[in-house]
């Protein structure tokens, strides 16, 4: 009885994690399309500050849900796996990636608004270096490499799922997310500014759709396994 309770808790971690990923993926996408105050294409820090609105930092708060949910998914896979070696490395890779991405989100939600509020010409170099409105900001390097490591984590975790039915679909999605995330990180290393070009926007949309579907399918897998206990 106690063993069943422990297993149920592990599945619940995966279910909650998948839900948080859905939340963290959906809202920023809707915000980017319909709600976000439009910044002109990056020219300099002064123009950025003139067009800045506090609500621009809101999607990054939901990024914490996405990161937390992703870690919960990887943790659940590790705890439930009968062959935990690859899922363990996947979890470690996810932790590394999540730490990098969270540093970026802290900068975007806390540091950038503070600099904008008290902006002087001396702050221009900081905004240029750290704001994600600038396609060559170091923040994009943090973002893309962080999600590259997180994607490697899902790739390594894919071995947990079966090869048929909905589990086979989950397995494919976890692998595809790894491939797309790693390609994005490498592409960023070769051309930092690509993220805010047309190919970058297309890849962003595809990744968000892929990760949303991944979270829905993972939610279903964990739910069905828990129900079958």
Tens of pLDDT, residue by residue over 21-77, are 999 999 887 776 666 667 788 999 999 999 998 888 888 999 999 999 999 999 999
- The candidate with the shortest Cα–Cα distance to 149, out of 196, 105, 192, 186, is 186
The chain-wide mean pLDDT, for the chain, equals 94
**What are 41's two structure tokens?**
């294409």
pLDDT at 4: 74
- Is residue 158 pLDDT above 90, yes or no? yes
- Is residue 1 pLDDT above 60, yes or no? no
pTM (predicted TM-score):
0.93
Range of the domain at 142: 2-227
Percent over 70 (pLDDT), the chain: 96
What is the band of 20 on the pLDDT scale with cuts at 50, 70, 90? Answer: very high
**How far apart are the C-alpha atoms of 87 and 154, rounded to whole Å?**
8
Scored b (16 or more CB within 10 A) or e, 16-42 reads bbbbbbbebbbbbbeeeeeeeeebeeb
The half-sphere exposure of 129 on its side-chain side, counting CA atoms within 13 A, is: 7
pLDDT at 37: 62
Q: Domain tally for the chain? A: 1
Percent over 90 (pLDDT), the chain: 85
């Amino acid at each position: 009885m106690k063993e069943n309770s422990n297993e149920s808790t592990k599945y619940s971690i995966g279910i909650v994690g998948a839900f948080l990923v859905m939340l963290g993926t959906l809202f920023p996408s809707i915000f980017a399309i319909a709600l976000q105050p439009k910044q002109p294409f990056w020219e300099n820090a002064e123009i950025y500050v003139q067009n800045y609105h506090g609500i621009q930092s809101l999607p990054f708060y939901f990024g914490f849900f996405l990161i937390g949910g992703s870690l919960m998914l990887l943790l659940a896979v590790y705890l439930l796996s009968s062959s935990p070696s690859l899922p363990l490395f996947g979890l470690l890779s996810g932790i590394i990636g999540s730490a990098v991405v969270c540093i970026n989100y802290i900068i975007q939600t806390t540091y950038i608004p503070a600099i904008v509020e008290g902006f002087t010409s001396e702050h221009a170099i900081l905004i240029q270096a750290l704001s994600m409105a600038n396609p060559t900001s170091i923040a994009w390097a943090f973002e893309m490499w962080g999600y590259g490591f997180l994607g490697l984590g899902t790739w390594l975790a894919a071995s947990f799922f079966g090869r048929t039915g909905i589990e086979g679909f989950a397995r494919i999605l976890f692998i595809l997310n790894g491939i797309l995330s790693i390609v994005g990180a490498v592409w960023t290393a070769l051309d930092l500014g690509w993220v805010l070009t047309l190919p970058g926007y297309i890849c962003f949309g595809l990744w968000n759709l892929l990760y949303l579907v991944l979270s829905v399918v993972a939610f279903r897998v964990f739910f069905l396994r828990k129900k079958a206990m």
